[in-house]
């Protein structure tokens, strides 16, 4: 089973990707994770990639494309893979498509989590972490998971813990915009990559504006 998953930052792609990975038992190949591992191990690849990642830019295609195409040739990928974070632009989509054709491999599913840009941004900026348990969902902009109120203070909606904090990088509006500029770019960015696949194969699109459970239910219904 060869699968691609697309979705903007804030769409819950990581969560849904983990569910899809479990369903099919294929390796979850996340470009960002590979880069971060290389950076922490101090490899040549990590050294080359670090400056781009720190600036919130894409690592150049001549580094990223061979890295991923080689990763797909490893033994654990024989039964398939779930690619997450690649392709991230049109050039990467074209190269992946060419490589798959050459290897006579097909894509079984291309998944797209559809979410409007303003909502994706609010999702990220409204996220609040509960000190007791980071998995308690709290978001000041999403009605279904709005923090509760106690004595005029905002508290965790699950455990009523009073320490709700925002992650610093979730509040970095410029960084969020930079990532979204790449994702929502329909000319050469990630949306262009999604459209490239839409013109060639079936793309399963799910509405990312509902909750985690609703999105995964819709996704599971559409995947066999």
* Contact positions vs ligand AMP (CB under 6 A): 31-32, 35, 52-53, 56-59, 64, 85-86, 88, 92
Query: Which listed residue (121, 127, 128, 157) is catalytic?
Result: 127
Task: Look up 127 and say whether it is catalytic.
Answer: yes
Nearer to ligand AMP, 187 or 213 (CB): 187
CB 60 to ligand AMP: min, Å? 7
Ranges assigned E (strand) in the chain: 2-6, 28-30, 81-84, 109-114, 129-130, 148-150, 153-155, 164-165, 203-207
Nearer to ligand AMP, 55 or 150 (CB): 55
In the bound complex, which residue of the shown chain has the CB atom lying closest to ligand AMP? 32
Task: Look up 157 and say whether it is catalytic.
Answer: no
Task: Look up 88 and say whether it is catalytic.
Answer: yes
Task: Look up 13 and say whether it is catalytic.
Answer: yes
Instruction: Give residue for tokens 């303003």.
Output: 118
CB 4 to ligand AMP: min, Å? 11
Nearer to ligand AMP, 53 or 142 (CB): 53
Helix (H, G, I), strand (E, B) or coil at 141: coil
CB 13 to ligand AMP: min, Å? 9
Query: Which listed residue (167, 200, 202, 222) is catalytic?
Result: 167
The answer for residues whose C-beta is within 8 angstroms of residue 121's C-beta and 6 or more apart is 10, 173, 176, 177, 180
Nearer to ligand AMP, 10 or 85 (CB): 85
CB 32 to ligand AMP: min, Å? 2
Q: What is the DSSP string of 79-128?
A: T-EEEES---SHHHHHHHHHHHHHTT---SEEEEEE--HHHHHHHHHHB-
Nearest Cα to Cα of residue 89 among 120, 118, 59, 119? 59
Q: Which residues are known catalytic residues? A: 13, 88, 127, 167, 179
């Amino acid at each position: 089973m060869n699968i691609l998953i697309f979705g903007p930052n804030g769409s819950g792609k990581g969560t849904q990707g983990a569910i899809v990975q479990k369903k099919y038992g294929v390796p979850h190949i996340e470009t960002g994770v590979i880069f971060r591992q290389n950076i922490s191990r101090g490899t040549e690849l990590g050294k080359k990639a670090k400056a781009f990642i720190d600036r919130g830019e894409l690592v150049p295609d001549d580094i990223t494309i061979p890295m991923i195409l080689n990763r797909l040739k490893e033994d654990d990928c024989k039964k398939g893979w779930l690619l997450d974070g690649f392709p991230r632009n049109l050039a990467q989509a074209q190269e992946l498509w060419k490589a798959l054709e050459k290897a006579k491999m097909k894509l079984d599913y291309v998944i797209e989590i559809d979410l409007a840009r303003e909502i994706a941004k609010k999702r990220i900026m409204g996220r609040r972490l509960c000190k007791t348990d980071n998995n308690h969902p709290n978001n000041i902009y999403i009605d279904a998971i709005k923090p509760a109120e106690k004595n005029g203070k905002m508290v965790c909606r699950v455990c009523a813990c009073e320490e709700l904090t925002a992650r610093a990088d979730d509040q970095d509006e410029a960084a969020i915009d930079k990532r979204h500029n790449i994702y929502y770019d329909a000319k050469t960015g990630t949306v262009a990559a999604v459209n490239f696949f839409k013109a060639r194969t079936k793309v399963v699109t799910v509405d990312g504006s509902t909750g985690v459970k609703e999105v995964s239910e819709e996704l599971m219904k559409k995947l066999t």
